[in-house]
Amino acid sequence: MSQQVSPKNVVDNADVQAGCWTTLFGLRKRYASRTAKAAQLTRQEGDAELPSYVHYGHGWYDFNYDKSTIGSFQTEILPEYSEDQGISPEVLQTIQAELKDLSAELRELSLDIWHHPEIMYEEKYAHDRLTKFMTSHGFKVTPHYLGLETAWRAEFTHRPSEKHRNANTGETRVIGVNSEMDALPGIGHACGHNLIAMSGVAVSLAIKAALQKHDMPGTILLLGTPAEEAGGGKITLLERGAYKEMDACIMSHPTAGPDNISGLWQGAALQPIEVEFYGHGAHAGYAPWEAQNALDAAFVAYASISALRQQIKPDCRVHGIIVGREWVPNIIPDYAKLRYMIRAPTYQELDALRERVRACFDAAALATACKIEVAVGAPYYEVRNNQVLGREYARLVSDMYGMRTDRSNGAIYSTDFGNVTYALPALHPAYAIPTEPNGANHTPQFTKSVATQEAHEATLKVAAGLAALGFKVLQDADFTAKVKKSFDEWKAGKGV
Ligand SMILES: [Zn+2]
Ligand SMILES: [Zn+2]
């Protein structure tokens, strides 16, 4: 029997969901204490000066430390968005000055969240810390947003003086920003969502400062989005209307790579899938013929998928684990569970691959005479970065910091923000922070890297670029019209 998990059940079935840079399913409370312990172990290093193992200059995709890869690294410098006047140097200065002023406070916020890693839908400490922080900075905060205990919303609107109100059309817009908060079981903030949480705050406060100083109308809507690694928090928020008011939505994500590089990658669509085999237990020596072996079913499925893997395209992934229940060698197991993720470059391709993987599960059930139950979680769509937002972002970070932007599609990562990019114009730049060899996302080494001062500074550069981009969405009606046109054309199948 298979079961389709509806979006409204996402919370109850949260460990069926999953996303982000690699493969971990949420294992929930069982691992909470281990997560806390990992944070304690790494705390010392995180507070220290930049450790000697931290280097710049990784290959972008293989993540091996090798300075020889720097020269061969290719980026695409995007053409300038040519038809507008850009953003005034005064506004850029306001944004950069604000982030400089707030830097110490933002670093404290980021490290505090890093010291309190919480996995999907358990981001209570982060929720309280961030909502208090936004309230203290003049935002109107809604905690526990839309029925999700750890989601939140922070809003700020600036209404300009009479003089400036007359100078524009009177039309106001809403820029959306996202702050992720969740950590990974056992290894803490190994995906740097403490930096993402801080970045969302930084972008929002910098736009606020620019709106106030330059007396421009606009609304900033920052969402605290739980459960990105597993649980698909943004998908639930999207379903419940959290993104409806936004004209565009922006966020960023740290990863390994060369210094001063940002990536606008499509990533991969992702399907979490959970399969349970129910057999019949028996004495393994005395009467094995009475059994239906659920562990065998799991291994037949695992082996079938391993064989299938050789016949799938290199930009697809199928990966998973087997979970038991009180297994001992002298009782034939009557139960086994597989947790898998299927990734493909697009949602359409994911549909086809999902069926091929399903066949492996069904074959295993047939071969072992076990009953099978399949739970298919809500899929994460690939990230469709808005082309106009992307070009302007690339220009801004290039002008401000000489940062290069890469738009190749070599990175196989997934995020529930992909679903947001299907719903409205949105941008999700990845950016490099210094890491140690073989220490990219989802490793304990990356947990240490995201707590360094250098990672903080890289995050603030991208935050400044995104704040300038967000300000432009609010300020420039023509630009925003082009952003929307690009989105509409892509949705209509004309673009991208
Ligand atoms: Zn991740
Ligand atoms: Zn992540």
In this model, does residue 340 exceed pLDDT 80? yes
Residue 28 Cα to ligand 2 middle (Å): 17
Q: How far is the CA of 227 from the centre of ligand 2 (A)?
A: 10
Number of domains making up the chain: 2
If asked whether residues 372 and 390 sit together in one domain, one would say no
The answer to whether position 437 is within a domain reads yes
Q: Indicate if 223 and 171 belong to the same structural domain.
A: yes
The rounded distance, in Å, linking the Cα atoms of 182 and 6 is 22
pLDDT higher than 50, residue 11: no
Q: How far apart are the first and last CA of the chain?
A: 38
62 pLDDT band, cuts 50/70/90, is: very low
Contacts of 350 (CB under 8 A, 6+ apart): 269, 270, 271, 342, 343, 344, 379
Tokens of 470: 């967000």
Q: Is the dihedral of CA 90, 75, 251, 79 positive or negative?
A: positive
Residue 308 CB-density burial (10 A; 0-12 exposed, 13-18 middle, 19+ buried): middle
Strand order in the sheet with 2-4: 2-4, 371-376, 269-278, 335-344, 317-323
Residue 21 is assigned to a structural domain of this protein: no
CATH number at residue 146: 3.40.630.10
Residues 252 and 280 in one domain: no
Residue 61 pLDDT greater than 70, yes or no:
no
Q: Nearest-CA neighbor of 35 among 182, 152, 254, 198? A: 182
Q: What percent of the chain has pLDDT over 90?
A: 76
Q: Are 490 and 421 in contact (CB under 8 A)?
A: no
Model pLDDT, residue 489: 94
- Whether residues 218 and 323 fall in one domain: no
- Is the pLDDT score of 16 beyond 50? no
Q: Could you tell me if 363 and 402 lie in one domain? A: no
Q: What whole-number distance in Å separates Cα of residue 479 and Cα of residue 220?
A: 17
Six token digits for residue 364: 């295993």
Which are the contacts of 191, defined by CB distance < 8 A and separation ≥ 6? 20, 21, 183, 184, 228, 229, 253, 441, 442, 446
pLDDT, the chain, mean:
85
198 and 299 together in one domain? no
Among all ligands shown, which has an atom nearest to the Cα of 192?
Answer: 2
Average pLDDT over residues 282-303: 98
Per-residue pLDDT band at 44 (split at 50, 70, 90): very low
* Boundary-marking domain end, from 376, 408, 440: 376
Q: Are residues 319 and 222 in the same domain?
A: no
Residues 311 and 441 in one domain: no
pLDDT (tens digit, 9 = 90+) per residue, 425-482?
999 999 999 999 899 999 999 999 999 999 999 999 999 999 999 999 999 999 999 9
Considering the domain boundaries, does residue 73 fall inside one?
no
**Domain membership flag for residue 41:** no
pLDDT value of position 493:
86
Ligand at shortest distance from the CA of 187: 1
Residues 97 and 140 in one domain: yes
Q: What is the mean pLDDT of residues 77-102?
A: 79
Most confident of 37-41, 51-55, 136-140: 136-140
Please report the pLDDT score of residue 98 as a whole number: 98
Residue 250 in domain: yes
3-state DSSP assignment of residue 489: helix
Residue 9 falls inside a structural domain = no
pLDDT of residue 68: 37
**What is the whole-number distance in angstroms between the Cα of residue 185 and the centre of ligand 2?**
13
Distance from residue 71's CA to the centre of ligand 2 (Å): 28
User: Cβ neighbours of residue 231 under 8 Å, at least 6 residues apart?
Assistant: 10, 11, 14, 15, 17, 18, 26, 120, 121, 182
Question: What's the mean pLDDT in 328-357?
Answer: 96
- 3-class state of residue 352 by DSSP: helix
User: Both 128 and 249 in a single domain?
Assistant: yes
Distance of CA 280 from the midpoint of ligand 1 (Å) = 37
Ligand 2 center from residue 456 Cα (angstroms): 16
Q: How far apart are CA 176 and CA 421, in angstroms?
A: 12
Q: Looking at the structure, tell me whether residues 208 and 297 fall in a common domain.
A: no
User: Residues 217-249: pLDDT tens digits?
Assistant: 999 999 999 999 989 999 999 999 999 999 999
> d(Cα 179, Cα 436) in Å, to the nearest integer?
25
Range of the domain at 187: 87-263+384-491
Among the listed residues 245, 266, 262, 243, the one whose alpha carbon sits nearest the alpha carbon of residue 253: 262
* Ligand closest to the CA atom of residue 428: 2
Among 357, 376, 395, residue at a domain's last position: 376
Q: Give the C-alpha separation, 226 to 204, whole Å.
A: 18
Three-state SS for 79? coil
Span from the CA of 266 to the centroid of ligand 1 (angstroms): 15
Instruction: Show which of 376, 406, 422 is a domain's final residue.
Output: 376
Q: Which CATH number is 323's domain given?
A: 3.30.70.360
Residue 396: band (very low, low, confident or very high) from pLDDT cuts 50, 70, 90: very high
Query: Which ligand lies nearest to the CA atom of residue 253 in the structure?
Result: 2
Please count the other Cβ atoms lying within 10 Å of the Cβ belonging to residue 357: 23
- Measure 64 CA to ligand 2 centroid, in angstroms: 20
pLDDT at position 40, please?
A: 42
Burial class (CB in 10 A: 0-12, 13-18, 19+), 107: middle
HEC letters along 138-153: CCEEECCHHHCCCCEE
For 172, counting Cβ atoms within 10 Å of its Cβ (0-12 exposed, 13-18 middle, 19+ buried), the class is middle
Q: Using the mean position of ligand 1's atoms as its centre, give its distance from the Cα of residue 209 in Å.
A: 31
- The yes-or-no verdict on residue 188 having pLDDT over 80 is yes
In a domain, 49, yes or no: no
Nearest to 344 by CA among 353, 332, 331, 335: 353
Residues 126 and 246 in one domain: yes
Dist. CA 337 → ligand 1 center (Å): 23
Q: In which element (H, E) is residue 404 found?
A: strand 404-406
The pLDDT of residue 164 is 63
- The three-point CA angle 113-117-118 to 5° equals 115
SS3 265: coil
DSSP state letters, 362-376: HHHHHHHT-EEEEEE
Q: Is residue 475 part of a domain?
A: yes
Using the mean position of ligand 1's atoms as its centre, give its distance from the Cα of residue 442 in Å: 6
Q: How far is the CA of 229 from the centre of ligand 1 (A)?
A: 5
Per-residue confidence at 494, pLDDT binned at 50, 70, 90?
Answer: low
